[in-house]
Amino acid sequence: MADTLFQPLVLGGGALRLKHRVVLAPLTRTRASEADMAPQSMCAEYYQQRASEGGLLISEATNISMESCGYHRAPGIWSEAQVSAWRCVTDKVHDKGGYIFCQLWHIGRVSHPSWSQHPLLAAAKASGAPMPSVSASEVAMPGKTYNVYPEGSKGPNAAPRALETAELPRLVADYRHAARCAMRAGFDGVEVHAAHGYLLDQFLRTGTNHRTDRYGGSVENRSRLLLEVVAAVLEEVGVGRVAVRLSPTQPGAFDFFGAGDENHMDADGCNVTYRYVVEQLNAKPLAYLLLTEPRWTGGRQDNDAEKDPGFNMPITNSSTYRKIYKGVLMAAGGFVPSTAAEAVAAGGCCDLVAFGRWFLANPDLPKRIQAGAPLNHYRRATFYTHEEEGYVDYPDLAGSVGQAGKYALIDASALVAPKAKL
């Protein structure tokens, strides 16, 4: 069955010639340098370890501008220092015959105004550069946040500044600039992150978008900013080099940063907001559309993979939107090798599967899946630390990278109870 994951696939009208369907999902790993928010040499090593001949990696979410920042030690892609640091990463991936897309990120209200004290931002603030935190409307996230500057502090979420209509072309230009930087850094394409309750998703969702201009209200208006960004980035980097990530809400799904959406599901089981967006994306020559499966729990069961209900829950988003989206569809969230192989089999619900937690813990995941080999168990405690541990020390089967024997092994077939198989 795993064979279905090892069928070639041409993306972007020939721009990418994949040899298999096992993709590295975008994963924030917070190992960039503090001072200039650029990837460090261990980041190049991490991506190199996970690259494979004809395999696709998606970078961690990467800030498009100073205004977009808010996660400690997440990288950016707007400055020359960042472009040259990312070049070291992309060169290493290409040396192994792999491809890598850059995920373009603006976190919007998930940031905190204290971020303007970061030395890199403070210098620019003095000359009037836009600062965090902004959103579609002045709706604060519920609860407290760790995205406070400096690192280690925690505070109540502040209401973001609502972006003015007149400055939205500037925002689109920021995405365009970041996309240009990404291509100069050697990326094979860019993925517009419009999922998980970050800025573009804040415009899509009624809970966070209360605007009365042409970017708020109707679904056409709430989708406008995303579609303008996609059009601009496509114009900048070219056909087949742009992808989009969405996380359509399903009833009872994980609620990303409290960004609610009151829109209903239609008779096909589609949230009407996302149905409209996906239909619009059909007209764009994308490399792929990545959908987050709502069965991903966002971390609560990460300490005990065997008990993660995501692995035993049906795939909902990609099977639903497969009927609407005409291009290459990628799914992520709660996949194990067997469910991934079924998902891409003939008549399945997607063309590619992005693995998050299993790929971060298994640098040679495609090889392990092909061989039916056991997987290194991931360790959540080091997902977001800033050191090499939990980042570049997961071993491969060949014993050429990482520390052999450091992580417990798990038989992947044990992760899906037979009765709950898809």
Ligand X SMILES: Cc1cc2nc3c(=O)[nH]c(=O)nc-3n(C[C@H](O)[C@H](O)[C@H](O)COP(=O)(O)O)c2cc1C
Task: Specify the residue, 26 or 216, whose C-beta has the smaller distance to ligand X.
Answer: 26
By beta-carbon proximity to ligand X, the closer residue of 61 and 232 is: 61
Nearer to ligand X, 45 or 216 (CB): 45
Among 21, 112, 205, 357, binds ligand X (CB under 6 A): 357
Least CB distance from residue 82 to ligand X, whole Å? 16
Q: What is the DSSP letter of 17?
A: E
Residues of span 196-255 touching ligand X by CB under 6 A: 196, 245
Site string for ligand X, 99-128 (x = CB under 6 A): ----x-------------------------
How many residues are present in the chain?
A: 422
Q: Which stretch binds ligand X (CB under 6 A): 4-12, 31-39, 271-279, 332-340?
A: 332-340
Per-residue binding letters, 298-317, with ligand X (x by CB under 6 A): ------------x-------
Among 206, 298, 294, 312, smallest CA distance to 257 is for 298
**Least spacing, CB of residue 95 vs ligand X, in Å:** 24
- 372-408 CB burial, b ≥16 within 10 A, e <16: ebbbbbbbeebbbebeeebbbbbbbeeeebbeeeebe
- Binding letters toward ligand X, positions 46-75, x by CB under 6 A: --------------xx--------------
Helices 168-184, 80-95: axis angle to 10 degrees equals: 50
State yes or no: residue 25 binds ligand X (CB under 6 A).
yes
Interface with ligand X (CB under 6 A), residue total: 23
Minimum CB separation of residue 97 from ligand X in Å reads: 23
Closer of 20 and 211 to ligand X (Cβ)? 20
CA distance 322 to 325: 5
Which structure tokens are listed for 31?
Answer: 């190992």
Supply the DSSP symbol for 387.
S
325 closest CA partner among 369, 286, 365, 267:
286
58: left (phi over 0), alpha (psi -120 to 50) or beta: beta
Catalytic positions are 198
Cα separation, 15 vs 11, in Å, equals 6
Which residues of the shown chain bind ligand X in the complex (CB under 6 A)?
25-28, 60-61, 103, 193, 195-196, 245, 292, 296, 310, 332-335, 355-358, 383
